[in-house]
Amino acid sequence: MDIFVTIATKRKCIIERTLGLIVFFISSTTPGFSQKQTLINIETAHNAIVLQADTGNRLGVIYFGEKLKKAAEYQSIPAMTKRQADVDYSGIFHSAYTPAGSRNLVEPAIQVTHADGNTSLDLQYVSHSTKKIDDNVSLTTVLLKDPAYPFEVTLYYKVYQKEDVMEQWSVIRHKENGNVMLQKFASANLFFSANQYWLRQYHGDWAREMQPEETRLTPGIKVLDSKLGTRENLYQPPSFMVSFNSPATEDEGKVLLGSVEWSGNFRVDLEVDPLNDLRLIAGMNNFASEYSLKPSEEFTTPAFLYTYSVKGKGEASRNLHDWAREYRILNGKGSRETLLNNWESTYFDFNESILSELVKDAKKLGVDVFLLDDGWFGNKYPRNNDHAGLGDWQENKKKLPNGIGYLVKEAQKNAVKFGIWVEPEMVNPKSELYEKHPDWVIREPNRPEHLYRNQLVLDLSNPKVQDFLVSIFDTLFIKNPGLAFIKWDCNAVIYNAHSAYQQKQSHLYIDYVRGLYKVMERVRAKYPKVPMMLCSGGGGRVDYGALKYFTEFWVSDNTDPLERIFMQYEYSYFFPAIAHDNHVTDWGKQPLKFRTDVAMMGKLGFDIVVSKLNENDLKFCQQAVINYKSVSDEVWHGDLYRLMSPRENDFASLMYVNKDRSKAVMFNYLVNNRFGAGSTLPVKLKGLQADKKYSVKEINIYPGTKSTLEENAVFSGDYLMTIGFNPNVNVRRTSVILEINEVK
Ligand code: GLA
């Protein structure tokens, strides 16, 4: 049923307003209201956000939803939808960027103390312009100014037409006689109107990333935030979704997928206001972060990223994936290399000859890269466990007498590439770095240190520390130009947030992340192509601020495949599979085939002792690497359709279809061991072309076993999508991968 009709009927007596999804407007009794005011219409291929200034020049969001066929009709929205002036007394609940301290009564987007100590702020529309960046991308800027102070904010709306994606951020500046203190500084202030709002948020901890929770938002404010300083998503990631009227399903419902592009403290306020509209304010967290802004200096917020779909979570996430591959993730449209990692097979206990053997194992397995993990550095304080050595990035002479260079050559001899682990932001108190530069460490001088994994965080707001970080990469690459992969880890949060460098301590959280980005920027300028994994003691830092510099991220240290099915499923709403690093390890009780099948739903890697595999296991893994190459193009670049949720069914089922609908791969995993659990009915496939014919073939079959499915059965796309196909998942066939090829 059309939302407009539903809501209008339900509330006719209370509030007269129209809803596309989202609309309303200021009552004609609101002072200053006029239809002739400036209208700013920002549209993607299917959606629009429309802003309008009233006669007092206050800019509000008057529409958010599916775009109208005739843009001229947005002008009519205010006339059709009258707002109750006696409830929104201030007339700015719908503000496009809510200033605190003047007429505002709800959560602000911005709050400041002027140079003269005054705490009031009003922002009025001055001008706007739209610049076409290319055929798909445009940027609208809107200038707002305070009539009483030389203080202004520019709102940015970057539109990615085809993908229905928007990025919003703001730039704050002033010309007052002294510094202005910024107390809140959101990236975006959105406004929606619907019957109900359903928030899907995530929480977690180490090895428990991306645990979802879906609840109805009630009047008042729900805040999603992080105050950890680094590895911001340890407890809560900056990604979430809001469904309108009822929780969206994969194919139905109005839903917004949003994410703050910031690798530090973030904050998202979701306020259901007194008129049951939803105000969404997102950006950096202002917690302990009052920022002093000099005259003429610019304060640029990170962007808030979102996509909106009226066709459910599936379409919204496919749009976001297209955007991420095209515009954000490094080499998002390229390929990825399979690898063998030594972390779980050796931990810190290795030497040159052990590693040389592992390099040979990588070759035996058929993977592209050998990745040397933690433990290769530190001499005065050798890194033989996680208590010492972080910060001293010189090869440990005992373990590696001939340095990394020897191993890189060993790898080359075996036609394998070589990658390495670093954790550049961190320091163990037991390190030469700590002894030499205690002032580079974030710590309270007058309080006992509190360690996280026996380590502390370096003060990246200090340019000297930034230089030091860049030098770690320079040394590695200058000595070993053949290095072909970097795993960048970040295992601690910030305690005792105090900087010996900062004059104003409240700048630390923000300047830390800005410093981090400066380092990443410099590293990328010098080494633009080398693949880099964003890791943070598992998936403790996964966001689109950092992914600009990375080709992939480590989903979680928890590689138990059963847990991974659930985590990968939730991550998949926000991040495409090409960026998910999945390793086959010894976590979990499932057979090797199940573990490998789960890891294939992303970028495949191994972290097992290859020499201990029995003959069949080894054969299976070798064949899996080959099979993976035959379907990786679909996994990396195809459209994802979630067919069966592991949370609602005995088994999970997902498929990736290439863009011309000629090839697909379908993954099926049993997640329940109760009697009779399995695929009792066919699963309806999605994303194929009805009039094409497809063969369906099971791949990744364990040596010595046979598929129970008919070999290369052929069906029409119509049949597969209407009737479906039963992968025959059951307790004897706990994971099943199907390759689906067009037959001409
Ligand atoms: C973190 C990472 C692991 C591994 C260890 C090494 O926990 O997530 O994959 O690299 O650090 O100390």
Closest-lying ligand 1 atom to the alpha carbon of residue 373:
10
Tell the residue number behind the tokens 């466990």, with chain if given: 385
pLDDT, tens digit (0-9, with 9 covering 90-100), for 363-376: 999 999 999 999 99
Ligand 1, atom 1, lies closest to the CA of 537
Q: Which of 459, 445, 340, 356 is nearest to 400 (CA)?
A: 356
Of 341, 421, 541, the one to substitute when testing ligand 1's pocket (max ligand atoms within 8 A of C-beta) is 421
**Å from CA of 581 to ligand 1 middle:** 13
pLDDT at 82 over 70: no
Q: Which of 182, 284, 201, 289 is nearest to 242 (CA)?
A: 201
Tell me the pLDDT band of 79, cut-offs 50, 70 and 90: low
Tell me the pLDDT band of 235, cut-offs 50, 70 and 90: very high
**d(Cα 609, Cα 709) in Å, to the nearest integer?**
32
Specify the pLDDT at position 84. Answer: 54
SS3 content of the chain, % helix, strand, coil (to 5): 25, 30, 45
For range 280-295, the mean pLDDT: 98
Q: Which of 173, 280, 157 is nearest to 217 (CA)?
A: 280
**Å from CA of 553 to ligand 1 middle:** 12
Average pLDDT, the chain: 94
Half-sphere exposure of 367 (CA within 13 A, CB side): 30
pLDDT, tens digit (0-9, with 9 covering 90-100), for 140-160: 999 999 999 999 999 999 999
CB 431 within 8 A of CB 392: yes
Enumerate the domain spans of the chain: 1-33, 34-75+89-328, 643-743
Specify the pLDDT at position 77. Answer: 85
Fold of the CATH domain 34-75+89-328: Beta-galactosidase; Chain A, domain 5 (2.70.98)
Contacts of 201 (CB under 8 A, 6+ apart): 212, 213, 214, 215, 224, 236, 240
643-743 has which CATH code?
2.60.40.1180
Ligand 1, atom 2, lies closest to the CA of 537
For the chain, the residue count is: 744
Same fold, 34-75+89-328 and 643-743: no
Give the residue, 658 or 87, on which the prediction is more confident: 658
**Å from CA of 505 to ligand 1 middle:** 30
Residue 271 CB neighbour total at 10 angstroms: 21
- DSSP state at residue 557: S
Strands 483-488 and 532-534: parallel
In Å, what is the CA distance from 234 to each residue of 118, 260, 423, 505, 729? 38, 15, 17, 24, 34
Of 344, 374, 582, 606, the one to substitute when testing ligand 1's pocket (max ligand atoms within 8 A of C-beta) is 374
**Å from CA of 538 to ligand 1 middle:** 7
- DSSP state at residue 327: I
Specify the pLDDT at position 31. Answer: 36
pLDDT, tens digit (0-9, with 9 covering 90-100), for 679-729: 999 999 999 999 999 999 999 999 999 999 999 899 999 999 999 999 999
Q: Which DSSP helix (H) or strand (E) runs through 10?
A: helix 3-11
**d(Cα 148, Cα 124) in Å, to the nearest integer?**
10
Question: Cβ < 6 Å from ligand 1: which residues?
Answer: 343, 373-374, 421, 489, 491, 535, 537-538, 554, 557
Q: Which of 47, 56, 49 is nearest to 26 (CA)?
A: 56
In Å, what is the CA distance from 421 to each residue of 17, 191, 322, 400, 725? 57, 43, 29, 15, 43
- Name the token pair of 394: 């010189």
- Name the token pair of 161: 């037409």
Helix axes 403-413, 463-479, angle to 10 degrees: 50
pLDDT, tens digit (0-9, with 9 covering 90-100), for 14-73: 333 333 343 333 333 333 334 467 899 999 999 999 999 988 899 999 999 999 999 999
* pTM metric for this prediction: 0.95
**d(Cα 709, Cα 416) in Å, to the nearest integer?**
36
**Å from CA of 417 to ligand 1 middle:** 20
pLDDT at 78 over 80: no
pLDDT at 673 over 60: yes
pLDDT at 179 over 90: yes
Residue 65 sits at φ, ψ, to 5 deg, of: 160, -160
> What single letter denotes the amino acid at residue 140?
T
